Amino acid sequence: MSITEIQSKSILRKQKKIETWFVSRYGMNLYRGCTHNCAYCDGRTEKYRVDGEFGKDVAVKVNAIDVLKRELDPRRKRKPMQKGFIFVGGGVCDSYQPVELKYELTRQALELMALHNFPVHMLTKSTHIERDLDVLHQINEKSRAIISMSFSSVDDKISRHFEPGVPGPSQRLKTLAKFKKEGFPIGMYLMPVLPFITDTHDKVQETVSAAANMGIDFIIFGGMTLKGGRQHDYLMNVLRDYDRNLAPKYEQIFTGDQWGRARMDYYDSVHRVFFEIVKEYKIPIRIPPAIWTNFVDSTDRVIIILEHIDYLLKMDNKKSSFGYAAYSISQLKEPVEHSRQKIEEMKGIGATTARLIREILDTGTSQYYEWLLS
């Protein structure tokens, strides 16, 4: 493993619109590269331009905390920062990969967020997050800290093969249980499920059941993407070591889409499996509003609810135009309340959706949404 120390001009990344999978307004990466070295990691693709050998080399943004101090300081802002969660995780690195134990950038970033009362959403595969229980407590008491972990299954043996650098899922579940006991909202990102390995009915059932047993607050599901080049070549080698019959099957579902997407009929079938199972356990498949509603502004609240409704309807095989309505609202330059009287005039918004939006503005939620989510 080699570590390179680099300087970064900016750390906080403002999203163009609220990210409704994570309910976040901002994101950040304190490292580039990830020595957890999951075989399927998207961070390995050429488009992210991570230097060195992905999985072995990592760059550390050593000035990150000074930059972040400036970025979070309200006295240095002409416009106040937007209300919303800061998402720490995902992208091309895990914030609790081993190098964090030496540099402690994640911990120091969290201390700044605690100081400025920002809610955070953490997503990691590492149990090292337990080290920061104290500062996460401070955040959760003053605003909110959501603790999420990602899984491809809860099978330790499969994980050892495909996720060699992280503690097995049984350890991760224990960490989540600990945070739950401490009063944090906890989530599982069941993504990506590995085609023909962890996407089967039995494996998904095993995973959802384990999550339900430890009181998970939500599960977000997603299938794999596989882009040509480094990501594809690396995974195929690891896959052949696991079971040489699987590589041709992967080639059949990943047909060279520029975004690395599999065939839609594959995604439809695994989503269907997940949806049928998760319904039995009555676990929300989007982050429930009780967790985030007080920490986003009214326009973002409307966008989140519309996008969540869109997803829930589509998962249930129903048509929906709520996603388009969410997009229209996200294009507004001013808070949605200012357009309250002319919501129907917006593209893609009819009388029923307009009524639902006004209900969200008046009550903070929608009965239809709450019913779908439950």
* Closer residue to ligand SF4 (CB): 100 or 310: 100
Rounded least distance, CB 364 to ligand SF4, Å:
34
For ligand SF4, give the closer residue by CB, 42 or 310: 42
Instruction: Kindly state the smallest distance separating residue 113's Cβ from ligand SF4, in Å.
Output: 21
Q: Give me the numbers of helices (H) and strands (E) for the chain, helices first please.
A: 15, 10
Nearer to ligand SF4 among residue 231 and residue 353 (C-beta) = 231
Phi-psi map region of 37: left, alpha, beta (phi>0 left; psi -120 to 50 alpha):
left
The Cα–Cα gap between 141 and 244 comes to 50
Could you tell me which residues come within 8 angstroms of residue 126 by beta carbon, excluding any fewer than 6 positions away? 36, 94, 96, 97, 166, 167
Closest CB 90 distance from ligand SF4, rounded Å:
7
If the CB atoms of residues 3 and 332 are measured against ligand SF4, the closer one turns out to be 3
**Which residues sit at the interface with ligand SF4, rule CB under 6 A?**
34, 36-38, 41, 43, 93-94, 125
**Nearest distance in Å: CB 270, ligand SF4:** 18
Q: Residue 103, SS3? A: helix
Q: Helix, strand, coil % (nearest 5) of the chain?
A: 50, 15, 35
Query: Rounded distance, CA 283 to CA 270, Å?
Result: 17
Report d(CA 31, CA 97) in Å as an integer.
9
- The span from the CA of 298 to the CA of 306, in Å, is 12
Q: Which is nearer to ligand SF4, 99 or 304 (CB)?
A: 99
Q: Are strands 57-61 and 2-6 parallel, antiparallel or unpaired?
A: parallel
Q: Which is nearer to ligand SF4, 29 or 299 (CB)?
A: 29
Which residue has tokens 């650098």?
A: 165
Task: Give the residue with the Cβ less far from ligand SF4, 95 or 140.
Answer: 95
In this structure, the number of other CB atoms found within 10 A of the CB of residue 76 comes to 9
Burial status of residue 32 (CB atoms within 10 A of its CB: 0-12, 13-18, 19 or more): buried
CA-based torsion, 360, 364, 367, 373: positive or negative:
positive
> Which residue number, 45 or 330, has a Cβ lying nearer to ligand SF4?
45
Task: Please tell me whether residue 25 adopts helix, strand or coil conformation.
Answer: strand
Q: Reply yes or no: is the peptide bond before residue 74 cis, omega within 30 of 0.
A: no
Amino acid in position 229: G
- Residues 6 or more apart whose CB falls under 8 angstroms from that of 257 comprise none
Question: Nearer to ligand SF4 by C-beta: 157 or 282?
Answer: 157
